[in-house]
Amino acid sequence: MSTDPDESRWRTELEGHREHKDDFFATDRQSPIPADQREAFDGLSYFDPDPDCRVEAAIDPIDSDETITMETTVETEQEYERVARLQFEFGGDSRTLVAYSGVSHDGDSLFVPFRDKTTGQQTYGAGRYMEFEVNGELAASDAVTLDFNLAYHPFCAYNDAFACPLPPEENWLDASIEAGEKLPES
């Protein structure tokens, strides 16, 4: 393990985030884990923390009111606005993900649903999500850190009662991102 203080702080924060999420899933009444299964729940499965899965992404704001309709896991649809293209290097190649904002959402949180080569193998078959906030105005920001170690499965991975947006094809990555939540070991 590295002795880099920034990496050490990042690992501590990541482990704290994971512990908090596991506690929420095990005890909170809004947990996606069905109430009758919470007592047996012993935590989510994660890939080992990987600092190489934290990448700087250049922000290319999308100045348009155009919306995209995403299908969901229960055959409904949800509307989102494309707000930025995130361009980054991973695995030696240049890659792009699109960040979205919910049409009825006024916050600064950006939603990045994606699929990669682990989808349906090591991770949930409908894809994974990341969310992040940009400090200040999006148009004034040059870059953001994408930490795939924070990639998570949508609630529908744990409970069919949830309608979860499916990542659009523009966010399908031709790479294996072995970071964040994964399916439990069989």
Question: Which band of pLDDT confidence, cut at 50, 70 and 90, is reported for residue 37?
Answer: very high
Computed on alpha carbons and rounded to an integer, the radius of gyration of the chain in Å comes to 17
- The alpha carbon torsion through 122, 79, 56, 109 (nearest 10 deg) reads -110
Residue 104: pLDDT over 70? no
Residue 94: pLDDT over 80? yes
Rounded CA-CA distance 92/65 in Å is 33
Query: Does residue 1 form part of some domain?
Result: no
Residue 163: pLDDT over 60? yes
Please name every residue paired with 58 in a beta bridge, in sequence order, or none if there are none. 87, 143
Q: Could you give the angle at the alpha carbon of 176 between the alpha carbons of 169 and 100, nearest 5°?
A: 40
pLDDT at position 103 is 65
Q: What's the mean pLDDT in 3-32?
A: 92
Query: Does residue 152 form part of some domain?
Result: yes
Please name every residue paired with 130 in a beta bridge, in sequence order, or none if there are none. 112
Instruction: Judge whether 81 and 107 are in contact, CB under 8 Å.
Output: no
Query: With pLDDT > 90 as the criterion, what percentage of the chain qualifies?
Result: 78
Query: Does residue 94 form part of some domain?
Result: yes
For residue 174, the enclosing domain spans 45-182
Instruction: Judge whether 34 and 22 are in contact, CB under 8 Å.
Output: no
Q: What is the pLDDT of residues 132-145, one digit of tens each?
A: 887 767 767 788 89
The closest of 147, 145, 116, 142 to 130, measured between CA atoms, is 147
Q: What's the mean pLDDT in 49-77?
A: 92
Higher per-residue confidence, 22 vs 138? 22
Residue 186: pLDDT over 50? no
Q: What integer best gives the mean pLDDT of the chain?
A: 91
127: helix, coil or strand?
Answer: coil
Residue 96 class from Cβ within 10 Å (0-12 exposed, 13-18 middle, 19+ buried)?
A: middle
pLDDT at position 184 is 87
Judged by average pLDDT, the poorest of 31-45, 59-73, 104-118 is 104-118
pTM: 0.90
The contacts of residue 176 (CB under 8 Å, 6+ apart) are: 116, 117, 118
Q: How many domains, the chain?
A: 1
pLDDT at position 108 is 65
Residue 1: pLDDT over 70? no
Query: Does residue 30 form part of some domain?
Result: no
Question: Which band of pLDDT confidence, cut at 50, 70 and 90, is reported for residue 81?
Answer: very high
pLDDT at position 4 is 75
